[in-house]
Amino acid sequence: MRTRSRWRRMIATAVLAGLALTGCSTIPSAGPVQNGLPDLEQAEQYIQFNPQRPITGASQADLVAGFLQAGSAPADDYAIAREYLTPAYAEQWDPDYGVLVDNGSRPYHSEGDRSGALSVSATAKVDAQGLMLPVEPGSKTELRFEFEKIGSEWRISSAPSGIVLDTAMFQTIWSQHQLYFIGPGKVLVPESRWYLIRASTATEIVNALIEGPSERLRESARTGFPAGTELASGTVPIVDGRAQIDLSGAMLSAGPAAASEMRQQLKASLQAVRAVNGFDLLAEGTAVRETSVNPGGELLASVDISNPAVVVNKELGNLVTGQFKKLPEPLDTIPALDARSISLSHDEKRALVLGAHGVSLVREEGTDLIDNRPGLLSPSYDLLGYAWTTTVDAGRTVRVTAPDGTPASIAVPWLTGRRTVALRVSPDGSRLAALVEDDGGSEILVGGIVREKTGQPLRTSAEADALLWAKGRPVDFDWVGTMRFAVLSRADTATKVTRGGLGTFPTEQGSVPGGSRISGGGSSAQIRVLGEGGGLFAPQASGWQRVKGDVQLLAKRG
């Protein structure tokens, strides 16, 4: 974990000008490493604010409000925010603890002559690593403050660590980045982190790659950087648009395969950093030669899950630019199985089909019934060829069937006592997500999948993160790419769609009449919902448009 001192060393010196915004370029969230701004002086002009300093005679409530507003100005180690604190506490207060993101409503009440509390409606929390977790809607967080007189003026003598920002301000001065680690099957596994928008972002990202995945993902993915690796100078300077990544001597012990993995991690993780259009890898100042062929093989960076698959007129096919294209053998036999749900492999050579007699595996060699338990939920097919099946009342275990047909039960302890409606493996095979009922509402839980080097699932992480809450009873959900998901939930007579994901704020996206099934695809634009009367709906602006009728079944991929 990064240290407080290192965080402070990387604070960029701010040039403040009232509350005016300085120059800012659009920050991409995906895609290859692009050409950066040619004028690096312009590239350093990040969004900055100049909040008000304490005024003479400020009340305790005014001090708290001003102190929180000063969280928008990280310059000189939050120097303005520290002016609201007593000299002794100003040395103790730790702004690097994390960020509490709220909706901006912060009623304050006094608790005596020298203390008070702020009631905050939090929407998310960001920890010191930059990992964001949403907060359950409706919950309140009480923040306590204590005060002392310094001369004739009140100052804050005790306050919560970290800073508090409303959603709009947070998204203005912080940005989201995907860091990529290595999962089984040579797949790049993304992890979302949030960082202050400043010149040191590349340094933050490289340090995080060296440290490896977060605790929740640590048993599911790894970093290619050798143990003991550090940045030789502690920072990553940007020279003519190229990040200069100079690593310590431990890098010299890495073989060609490890060096190749590091390069692929860096390329994927730095692609959205502004003013960076490439990088140079060095070891103690000496350039590390890049070979034309990756010794360890190319890591899979994405999984194609774009075109929706549907059953129309008892035929299974893809919808490509609105046109139905029937799938070839053996998948063309699936509708005859009286399918209730279909999960296609990503290469479209195999499928899992939930029918009247259980879950069957359809492949070129034939069709085999792999799970005939009553009460089965829709199955999920992972990238490495393992079939995941469970029942409504299976509790904390899930059956995983290997490509050769061998079944095994693995523990999912975080499902204990939960009513599971749907279970889905992420497209990269690193995470397991479950849609569960939560006090009449819907909740998405996500945990890591722990595998052997061969890809065989062993268990999941001991705990899971709650990453989305939606109004209404759960109906269905699916992954949207490797980081997002979309949820169907029914409140009264409306079937609502809610989008969320790892490190993102959940958003409602209207309702679909009679929505019963949802498929995610590779992006939000490719989400499809099966509605009443066999209508297939696609997102349009903030609502939904019917794009096809007479659809009997909407399949999923994976």
Contacts of 177 (CB under 8 A, 6+ apart): 192, 193, 194, 195, 201, 205, 269, 272, 273
Model pLDDT, residue 287: 87
Q: What is the pLDDT of residues 81-115, one digit of tens each?
A: 999 999 999 999 999 999 999 998 899 999 989 99
Model pLDDT, residue 441: 92
User: Does the residue 304 lie in any domain?
Assistant: no
Kindly state the average pLDDT of the residues 153-162. 97
User: How far apart are alpha carbons 426 and 433 in whole angstroms?
Assistant: 7
Model pLDDT, residue 338: 86
Q: What is the pLDDT of residues 60-85, one digit of tens each?
A: 999 999 999 999 999 999 999 999 99
With beta carbons less than 8 A apart as the criterion, state whether 478 and 461 touch.
no
Q: How confident is the model at residue 337 (pLDDT cuts 50, 70, 90)?
A: confident
Beta strands 341-344 and 556-557, pairing class: parallel
* Residues 89 and 162 grouped into a single domain: yes
Q: Render 244-305 in DSSP notation, one character per residue.
A: EEEE-GGGGG--HHHHHHHHHHHHHHSTTSTT-SEEEEEETTEEPPPPSS-TT-PPB-----
User: Does the residue 298 lie in any domain?
Assistant: no
Radius of gyration over every alpha carbon of the chain, rounded to an integer in angstroms: 26
* Residues 281 and 407 grouped into a single domain: no
Token output for 104: 């901006």
Model pLDDT, residue 220: 94
Per-residue CA distances from 40 to 35, 37, 470 (Å):
12, 6, 43
Q: What is the pLDDT of residues 402-414, one digit of tens each?
A: 999 999 999 999 9
* Residues 212 and 318 grouped into a single domain: no
Coil, strand, or helix at residue 108?
strand
Model pLDDT, residue 71: 95
Sign of CA dihedral 307, 309, 315, 319: negative
Q: Please count the other Cβ atoms lying within 10 Å of the Cβ belonging to residue 520.
A: 25
Model pLDDT, residue 2: 38
Of 35 and 359, the structure prediction assigns the larger pLDDT to 359
Token output for 281: 């890898």
Report the amino acid identity of residue 22.
Answer: T
Q: How confident is the model at residue 292 (pLDDT cuts 50, 70, 90)?
A: low
Distance of CA 271 to the CA centre of its chain: 17
* Residues 20 and 126 grouped into a single domain: yes
User: How far apart are alpha carbons 490 and 473 in whole angstroms?
Assistant: 5
User: Does the residue 293 lie in any domain?
Assistant: no
User: How far apart are alpha carbons 179 and 130 in whole angstroms?
Assistant: 11
* Residues 264 and 394 grouped into a single domain: no
User: Does the residue 299 lie in any domain?
Assistant: no
Start-to-end Cα distance in the chain: 34
User: Does the residue 322 lie in any domain?
Assistant: yes
Q: What is the pLDDT of residues 4-48, one digit of tens each?
A: 333 333 333 232 223 233 333 332 323 333 333 333 333 344 677
Token output for 144: 């306590």
Q: How confident is the model at residue 186 (pLDDT cuts 50, 70, 90)?
A: confident
User: Does the residue 504 lie in any domain?
Assistant: yes
* Residues 153 and 220 grouped into a single domain: no
Nearest to 246 by CA among 258, 257, 261, 262: 262
Peptide bond into 330 cis (omega under 30): yes
Nearest 5 degrees, angle CA 279-CA 284-CA 287? 45
* Residues 254 and 378 grouped into a single domain: no
Kindly state the average pLDDT of the residues 175-203. 94
Q: Mark out the alpha helices in 51-104 (DSSP H runs).
A: 60-69, 75-82, 87-92
* Residues 509 and 539 grouped into a single domain: yes
CATH at 313: 2.120.10.30
Note down the domain range covering 149: 4-172
Q: Domain end: 235, 253, 287, which one?
A: 287
With beta carbons less than 8 A apart as the criterion, state whether 532 and 539 touch.
no
* Residues 317 and 213 grouped into a single domain: no
User: Does the residue 47 lie in any domain?
Assistant: yes
Model pLDDT, residue 244: 96
Kindly state the average pLDDT of the residues 538-554. 92
* Residues 318 and 204 grouped into a single domain: no
Q: Is the pTM of this model over 0.85?
A: yes
Q: Domain end: 146, 172, 198, which one?
A: 172
Model pLDDT, residue 394: 67
With beta carbons less than 8 A apart as the criterion, state whether 329 and 344 touch.
no
* Residues 478 and 329 grouped into a single domain: yes
* Residues 282 and 317 grouped into a single domain: no
Percent of the chain residues topping a pLDDT of 70:
90
Is pLDDT above 80 for 252? no
User: How far apart are alpha carbons 449 and 434 in whole angstroms?
Assistant: 13
On average, the pLDDT of the chain sits at 87
Q: Domain end: 110, 139, 172, which one?
A: 172
User: How far apart are alpha carbons 457 and 451 in whole angstroms?
Assistant: 4
φ, ψ for residue 441, nearest 5 deg:
-110, -170
Coil, strand, or helix at residue 539?
strand
Per-residue CA distances from 352 to 361, 382, 397 (Å):
5, 11, 19
Q: What is the pLDDT of residues 471-512, one digit of tens each?
A: 999 999 999 999 999 999 998 888 999 999 999 999 999 999
Coil, strand, or helix at residue 236?
coil
User: How far apart are alpha carbons 357 and 338 in whole angstroms?
Assistant: 10
For the chain, the domain total comes to: 3
User: How far apart are alpha carbons 534 and 313 in whole angstroms?
Assistant: 11
Q: What is the pLDDT of residues 447-470, one digit of tens each?
A: 999 999 889 999 999 999 999 999
Of 300 and 215, the structure prediction assigns the larger pLDDT to 215
Is pLDDT above 70 for 439? yes
User: Does the residue 27 lie in any domain?
Assistant: yes
